Structure 1
Amino acid sequence: MSKNRDKYEFGDANLYDIRNRNELRVIKAIEEYLQDNQFLGFNAKDIQDIYALALNNLPARYTQVGTIVLRDPVKDYEVSEAVERSALQVQKVPKH
């Protein structure tokens, strides 16, 4: 097992694969936002900031591998709005 994965072990429990369901949704929303706003010229650090801000502004939805999700309380438009707000904030106050 990799050193990084070892950090997520507690006794017999491996916590490495527990993820926030919104992570991939935010990545998809960022891709869509950047396709529509290519002229903004965000760099890699800006995109990381947008990603982190958007996730922090959405309720966390952690799941385990193999978990069945019956409904998702966070709507797609809410994810898109969180990405847009985050992008505007990064544009106003870049961290570089």
Structure 2
Amino acid sequence: MESYEEVINNLLGSVKNKNEARVARKLISALEEIPEYDPDPLDIQDIYALALNCLPPRYKQKGTIVLSESVNDEEIMAALRVAIQKVRSNPKYAKGENV
């Protein structure tokens, strides 16, 4: 029998928030809507995290059957648009600075 520690360590690799991959796939499309915006890698990370925080989590484990998506693509794009505007309006550092 596995120890609790082994079971918990296995959880970290097997339980995922399904929205993470969906947000990552839509992020490029959302950024392409604003061609004049050239975000730094840190900006992109902030946008990704903010968008995920605006969406309900969709955790699944390996082998889970998904019967329906509770968040549609337009809701993901809306969350990304809001996140992009927040990051653009509130930069945490000056462009070109070493963070």
* TM-score over 0.5 (shorter chain): yes
Equivalent of residue 12 in structure 1, options 6, 25, 41 = 6
RMSD: 1.5
| Residue 87 of structure 2 is aligned to residue 93 of structure 1 | no
CA drift at 1:11:
2.7
Structure number with larger C-alpha Rg: 2
Unaligned runs of 5+ in 2: 94-99
Equivalent pairs counted in the alignment come to 88
Q: Give structure 1 regions of 4+ aligned residues with deviation exceeding 6 angstroms.
A: none
Please give the TM-score of this superposition, normalised by the length of structure 1.
0.84
Equivalent of residue 58 in structure 1, options 29, 52, 55 = 55
CA drift at 1:17:
2.1
CA drift at 1:29:
1.4
Equivalent of residue 29 in structure 2, options 25, 28, 32 = 32
CA drift at 1:10:
4.2
CA drift at 1:28:
1.3
- SS of corresponding position for 2:57: coil
User: Which string of whole-angstrom CA distances, capped at 9 and with x for unpartnered residues, describes residues 11-53 of structure 1?
Assistant: 3311122110100111111111122323201110000000000
